[in-house]
Amino acid sequence: MIYRIINHPLVESDLFDITDMVSSYAGLTIGKSKTSEITRFISNLSSFPKIGSIRSDILPGLRAIPAAEKAVVCFTVDDASLTVFIICISYAGSDWASRVKERS
């Protein structure tokens, strides 16, 4: 089964912030490359949605998984609607747990 990917409205902002952060020390090309790598990883969740550590202590059904070396993708899976909901993407040790709580 293929799951549909839906992003929280602030996920685009997360990706922009990651591009901006990486670009500040590695250049725009590498910054864009890093967010492209994260986006490709998220696309693969449509085929493999049940990966990642379950973190129900933060939010029921929450999954968190490392991506692109320094990123963490936080999401939930709804089997009834075949949907993966991306809640946030953090990078380089930022506090993803607080961001998940703010957005849920």
What is the pLDDT confidence band of residue 75, given thresholds at 50, 70 and 90?
very high
Q: Where are the beta strands (DSSP E) in 3-82?
A: 4-7, 53-54, 63-67, 71-78
**What is the pLDDT averaged over residues 62-78?**
97
Task: Give the chain's domain count.
Answer: 1
Report the distance separating Cα 48 and Cα 29, nearest Å.
29
Asked whether the whole model's pTM tops 0.85, one would answer: yes
How large is the average pLDDT for residues 68-81? 97
**Dihedral sign, Cα of residue 51, residue 15, residue 59, residue 3:** negative
Q: What are the pLDDT digits (tens) for 10-64?
A: 999 999 999 999 999 999 999 999 999 999 999 999 999 999 999 999 999 999 9
Residue 82 has a pLDDT of 98
In 3D, which of 79, 24, 27 has the Cα closest to residue 50? 79
Residue 33's CATH number: 3.30.2310.20
Span 83-96, pLDDT tens digits: 999 999 999 999 99
Domain that holds residue 23: 4-102
